[in-house]
Amino acid sequence: MIEYQGKKHRLFKRDFGKLFIENFDVKLVDYGFLWDHIYDGAGFDDVTWWLFQKN
């Protein structure tokens, strides 16, 4: 856990893509990053995303 906007127990820093692959029968199809500077109008913060396919 790391502190987020002055609050504890609100944000967890972890490689969630790896966690998902290790615990579920999936294959990674694609992944990416949405930078809030570019996608600010869409209401995004910095976002890392993964697309998985069930095996």
The confidence score (pLDDT) of residue 31 equals: 94
The confidence score (pLDDT) of residue 47 equals: 82
* Residue ranges of domains in the chain: 2-54
pTM beyond cutoff 0.75: no
CA distances from 16 to 12, 13, 42, 48, 53 (A): 10, 9, 23, 9, 15
Q: Kindly report, residue by residue over 25-43, the tens digit of the pLDDT.
A: 999 999 998 877 666 677 7
Q: Which of 2, 20, 23, 21 is nearest to 11 (CA)?
A: 2
Residues 15 and 31: beta-carbon distance below 8 Å: no
Residues 39 and 32: beta-carbon distance below 8 Å: no
The confidence score (pLDDT) of residue 39 equals: 67
Residues 22 and 51: beta-carbon distance below 8 Å: no
The confidence score (pLDDT) of residue 29 equals: 97
